[in-house]
């Protein structure tokens, strides 16, 4: 009953000068109105495949191309990118660079205007309306939050009213809250406006919740395409390529090996699945060791407030009366929505910003009258974008920059870091030419090379694929020996659950909560107020009334007693 809107037939592609075929005899057919997720490991050819749909390959990226692609009956090879663009909208992973005009409305109207559409204004406003951006239309792009920017980028291609929308990793750069919002909007486009949506996605939990179909790509080949329910249950296929099924699916798999065919893939399914199972609550709750009290205090802030001038010369309170003490051996996660004051707090600790009010101390330095250069010997600050950490032309030079500028001899320590972070293979390369995971590890090492008391990381797992992300969490679990305390600002609740010993929740410049992850996730109203979406395991625990909540899959599995042979229907 539904017809194929895209048919890719035996497509192979090789970049000019490249040795390998990025795509190899790939065939894929997409029906009208589908919400398709494309999954596959890094470098499997996902983006390349998508770019054949709007003709960027081979018209823009020339190379060796074989096979045929038809979009809504149009032969891609014999049409221009400009023609195909009106059928296929493409939103990039680094969508920031896709926004080219100063204000929202202008950017959204840009494409229809370029095609000489006399009603470009109406079409732009229509796209804004659908995505709920109308109230932002006169704002400057740079004033928007990440989520709003992403929606604007989608509106920008939607304004041409294409039948197909391709979105490359919609949530990689967003916090879970905004990510969900994006997916909800995409769902509306699919269900109510008849659009065909294709996403390239690593997060299987979103796929389970929103997509209708899923296709797996590996080494330039389309392995299979199934409906989501079937696809996500092919756990072995996924795990082999380092793609992790939703947490609830993984947990179910660990509990019951025999009954694979009916694994739950969404939270809702999981609740029914686990209902009626007996739950063991741990007999003793972990007790805090009093040893904690005797540890040396690294950071001490009292009544710290910070104000800034906005463009309209209004004074905005960014930090509001912060009290904070950080001791040795702490793993702190700093969470909260964008604009909650997380980065300002970190900048204060790094000495980049002098707080307007209050006093503080970091190691032996007084916050008020110690220069940035002094504080930076004790506090390392690793930026969110690793490329801003690479100031030299090789990782090794970046690593030794601090020691070099102070004539310090730290060679043995560097070698230790290089081994610990598995950087041997690229230590003399330029940081910008590395993969995402390598970049993060390197920037972490650069921070540690200062031998700080406090290491601060800004979003160390953002925009990493699932495999690199797991690797990053593992690395973070190793660094306790090299640094006294670690503070991480993050949206990644899984990281919070699996790594942190203490969580600080910020909201509107204030500290809303300060305690352990268990305590935080048990209090749903705090999570709601601060816009946090707990990991699936935590949500499931809460729904099943498991207390204290399980933070990880293994913790959850321990609580559920083995299912007897009668199991689940």
Partner 1 sequence: MNQLSREEYSQSQKMMIFILAMSLFGLANLFTELLPEFVLGPVEISVSYLAFIPLSLVMLFHPLYAAVGASVGEIIFGDLLLGDFGGLGELEGFIEFTLAMYIAGLLVTNLRSKKQVGIAAIVGIGIDQMLSTIVDVGKVWVGIEEVEAVPGLPESILAIEGLSFVTEMIISGVIFGLIPTLYLIPRLYGKIEPLLGIKPREGRVKASMTEWMSVRFVILAIFLTFMGMVAEFMAEMDINFAVWEPEFLEQFGDGFIWLPISAAAIVFIVAVFTAIKWLGASSNQDKKGKSA
Partner 2 sequence: MELVNRFKKTYNLEWVKLELLKTAFGKKDSYMGRKDPRLVMVWYFIVSLLPWFTFNQTILIGLLVYTIVTSLVSRVSPLIIGLLTIGVISEIIYIVALVYLFGGEWAAFSSLITFTMKITIMSIASIAAFASMDPEKLSDALLSFGVPAQFSFAVSYGYRMLPILLDEYQQIILSFRLRGKAPTNGGVLKWRTIYYYSKIVVKAFYPMMLNTAKKTRTTVEALEVKGFSYSLHDKEAKKQKLSHLKLSNQDYTFLVMSIGILLAIYFLGKYYPI
Residues in contact with partner 2 by CB under 8 A are 54, 56, 60, 80-82, 85-86, 89-90, 92, 94, 96-102, 106-107, 110-111, 113-118, 120, 140-142, 156-157, 309, 311, 350, 352, 371-373, 376, 380-381, 383, 385, 387-391, 393, 401-402, 405-406, 430, 432, 446, 450
Element containing residue 42 per DSSP (H, E): none
Closest to 293 in 3D by CA, of 331, 334, 325, 333:
325
- Pick between residue 316 and residue 433 the one whose CB is nearest to partner 1: 433
The answer to the question of residue 387 lying near partner 1 (CB under 8 A) is no
CB of 425 to partner 1, least distance (A): 18
Helix, coil or strand: residue 204 = helix
Judge residue 139's burial from the number of C-beta atoms within 10 Å of its C-beta, 0-12 exposed, 13-18 middle, 19 or more buried.
Answer: middle
CB of 312 to partner 2, least distance (A): 9
- Pick between residue 64 and residue 94 the one whose CB is nearest to partner 1: 64
Report the partner that residue 58 touches, choosing among partner 2, partner 1, none (CB closer than 5 to 8 A by kind).
partner 1
The answer to the question of residue 16 lying near partner 1 (CB under 8 A) is yes
- Pick between residue 211 and residue 399 the one whose CB is nearest to partner 2: 399
Q: What is the DSSP letter of 298?
A: E
The answer to the question of residue 426 lying near partner 1 (CB under 8 A) is no
Helix, coil or strand: residue 423 = coil
Report the partner that residue 72 touches, choosing among partner 1, partner 2, none (CB closer than 5 to 8 A by kind).
none
CB of 101 to partner 2, least distance (A): 5
The answer for residues whose C-beta is within 8 angstroms of residue 204's C-beta and 6 or more apart is 39, 232, 238, 243, 244, 245, 246, 249, 265
Q: With CB under 8 A as the rule, give the number of residues binding partner 1.
A: 15
- Pick between residue 11 and residue 549 the one whose CB is nearest to partner 1: 11
Element containing residue 143 per DSSP (H, E): none
Q: What is the DSSP letter of 300?
A: E
Selected binder of partner 1 within 433, 554, 558, 562 (CB under 8 A): 433
Report the partner that residue 90 touches, choosing among partner 2, partner 1, none (CB closer than 5 to 8 A by kind).
partner 2
Report the partner that residue 85 touches, choosing among partner 2, partner 1, none (CB closer than 5 to 8 A by kind).
partner 2
CB of 65 to partner 1, least distance (A): 5
Under 8 Å between Cβ of 69 and 8: yes
Selected binder of partner 1 within 3, 9, 64, 387 (CB under 8 A): 64
CB of 416 to partner 2, least distance (A): 19
Alpha-helix runs per DSSP H in 222-371: 228-233, 235-240, 247-255, 267-274, 342-350
Under 8 Å between Cβ of 521 and 534: yes
Q: What is the 3-state secondary structure (H, E, C) of 359-388?
A: EEEECCEECCCCCHHHHCCCEEEECCCHHH
- Pick between residue 283 and residue 369 the one whose CB is nearest to partner 2: 369
The widest CA-to-CA distance across the chain, in whole angstroms, is 74
Pairwise CA distance, residues 455 & 443, whole Å:
12
Report the partner that residue 16 touches, choosing among partner 2, partner 1, none (CB closer than 5 to 8 A by kind).
partner 1
Report the partner that residue 381 touches, choosing among partner 1, partner 2, none (CB closer than 5 to 8 A by kind).
partner 2
The answer to the question of residue 276 lying near partner 1 (CB under 8 A) is no
The answer to the question of residue 432 lying near partner 1 (CB under 8 A) is yes
Under 8 Å between Cβ of 45 and 26: yes
The answer to the question of residue 77 lying near partner 1 (CB under 8 A) is yes
Report the partner that residue 350 touches, choosing among partner 1, partner 2, none (CB closer than 5 to 8 A by kind).
partner 2
SS3 content of the chain, % helix, strand, coil (to 5): 40, 25, 35
Selected binder of partner 1 within 60, 115, 142, 224 (CB under 8 A): 60
Alpha-helix runs per DSSP H in 425-543: 436-448, 466-478, 493-499, 517-522, 524-529, 536-543
Contact residues for partner 1, defined by CB under 8 A: 16-17, 58-62, 64-66, 77, 393, 430, 432-433
């Amino acid at each position: 009953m539904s017809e194929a809107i895209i048919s890719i037939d035996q497509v192979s592609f090789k970049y000019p000068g490249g040795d390998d075929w990025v795509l190899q005899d790939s065939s894929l057919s997409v029906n009208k109105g589908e919400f398709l997720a494309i999954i596959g490991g890094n470098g499997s050819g996902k983006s390349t495949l998508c770019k054949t749909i709007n003709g960027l390959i081979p018209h823009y990226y020339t190379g060796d191309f074989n096979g045929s692609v038809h979009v809504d009956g149009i032969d891609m090879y014999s049409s221009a990118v400009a023609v195909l663009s009106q059928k296929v909208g493409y939103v990039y992973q680094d969508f920031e660079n896709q926004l080219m005009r100063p204000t929202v409305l202008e950017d959204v109207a840009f494409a229809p205007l370029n095609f000489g559409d006399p009603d470009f204004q109406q079409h732009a406003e229509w796209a804004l309306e659908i995505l709920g951006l109308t109230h932002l239309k006169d704002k400057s792009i740079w004033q928007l939050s990440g989520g709003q920017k992403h929606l604007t980028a989608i509106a920008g291609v939607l304004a041409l009213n294409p039948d197909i929308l391709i979105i490359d990793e919609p949530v990689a750069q967003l916090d879970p809250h905004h990510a969900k919002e994006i997916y909800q909007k995409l769902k509306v486009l699919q269900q109510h406006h008849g659009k065909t949506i294709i996403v390239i996605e690593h997060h299987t939990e979103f796929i389970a919740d929103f997509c209708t179909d899923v296709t797996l790509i590996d080494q330039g080949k389309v392995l299979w395409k199934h409906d989501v329910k079937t696809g996500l249950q092919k756990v072995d296929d996924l795990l082999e390529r380092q793609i992790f099924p939703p947490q609830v699916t993984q947990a179910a798999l660990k509990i019951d090996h025999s009954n694979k065919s009916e694994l739950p893939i969404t939270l809702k399914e999981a609740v029914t699945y686990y209902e009626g199972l007996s739950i063991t609550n741990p007999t003793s709750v972990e007790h805090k060791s009093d040893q904690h009290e005797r540890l040396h205090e690294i950071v001490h802030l009292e009544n710290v407030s910070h104000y800034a001038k906005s463009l309209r010369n209004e004074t905005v309170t960014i930090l509001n009366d912060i009290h904070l003490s950080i001791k040795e051996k702490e793993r702190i996660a700093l969470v909260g929505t964008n604009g909650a004051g997380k980065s300002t707090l970190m900048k204060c600790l790094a000495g980049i910003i002098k707080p307007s009010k209050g006093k503080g101390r970091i190691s032996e330095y007084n916050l008020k009258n110690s220069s940035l250069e002094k504080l930076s010997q004790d506090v390392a600050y690793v930026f969110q974008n690793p490329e801003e950490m690479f100031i030299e032309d090789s990782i090794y030079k970046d690593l030794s920059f601090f020691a070099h500028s102070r004539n310090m001899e730290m060679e043995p320590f560097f070698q230790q870091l290089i081994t610990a972070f598995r950087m041997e293979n690229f230590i003399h390369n330029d940081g910008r030419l590395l993969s995402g995971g390598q970049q993060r590890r390197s920037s972490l090492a650069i921070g540690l090379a200062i031998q700080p008391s406090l290491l601060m990381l800004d979003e160390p797992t953002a925009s990493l694929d699932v495999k690199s992300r797991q690797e990053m969490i593992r690395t973070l679990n190793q660094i306790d020996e090299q640094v006294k305390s670690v503070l991480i600002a993050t949206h990644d609740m899984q990281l919070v659950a699996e790594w942190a010993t203490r969580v600080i929740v910020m909201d509107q410049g204030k500290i809303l909560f300060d305690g352990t992850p268990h305590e935080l996730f048990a209090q749903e109203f705090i999570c709601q107020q601060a816009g946090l979406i707990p990991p699936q395991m935590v949500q499931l625990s809460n729904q099943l009334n498991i207390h204290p909540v399980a933070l990880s899959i293994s913790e959850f599995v321990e609580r559920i007693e083995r299912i007897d042979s009668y199991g689940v229907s």
